[in-house]
Structure 1
Amino acid sequence: MEKNPEDFYERLKVELENSSTWPAVYLFKFIVPSKADNVIRVEDAFNEMGAVIKTTKSKTGKFTSISVDVNMKNPQEIIKKYIEVSTIKGIISL
């Protein structure tokens, strides 16, 4: 990720505003270490939103990729979700 997360999120917001009509289905992709409650914490962040969540463990089992298809109201809601899950230790947002 970039050195300044605010710049990244601002640029993402502009790109999303220009590329979609809102509300829209958005695909979040994350990679987390396959330990503790990392996957559960990501799933909980999208709980009761009607999200379709798919998880796949890496060959070594050290990491889990998580894809989340969910209907989002606007780009700001997407950014709020990225910020919410960014507190999970070792998470990578793709």
Structure 2
Amino acid sequence: MFLNRRGGRLTARAIDQLLDELAHDADLVDETGKPFASTYTLRHNFNTNLLRSDVDVVVVAELMGHRRLDTTRLYTLPNHIDLDTAVTKLPTHQ
């Protein structure tokens, strides 16, 4: 997906270094200088945003390159808002 200057694939290490530089330039670091952005947070947000947009989990797993849905699930644990939204979708008898 990301290419280096010579047109080859960027390594995971190169992507991590690029994210570190971007986070520092944007002042997205904690008090110790650790960046808030990482490849993990990007993958997590990618997965979560797709699922919250009602993309089927099987499709998300395929996009992520996961062979098992359990792997996809690790990136997409629901928060309180997700749980509240799910409960509001329950049918009620009126």
Do both proteins adopt the same fold according to a TM-score greater than 0.5, normalized to the shorter chain?
no
TM-score (norm. length: structure 2): 0.31
Larger radius of gyration between Structure 1 and Structure 2: 2
Higher RCO by CA contacts (8 Å cutoff, separation 6 or greater)? 1
Higher helix share: 2
Structure having the larger proportion of residues in strand? 1
Q: TM-score, normalised to structure 1's length?
A: 0.31
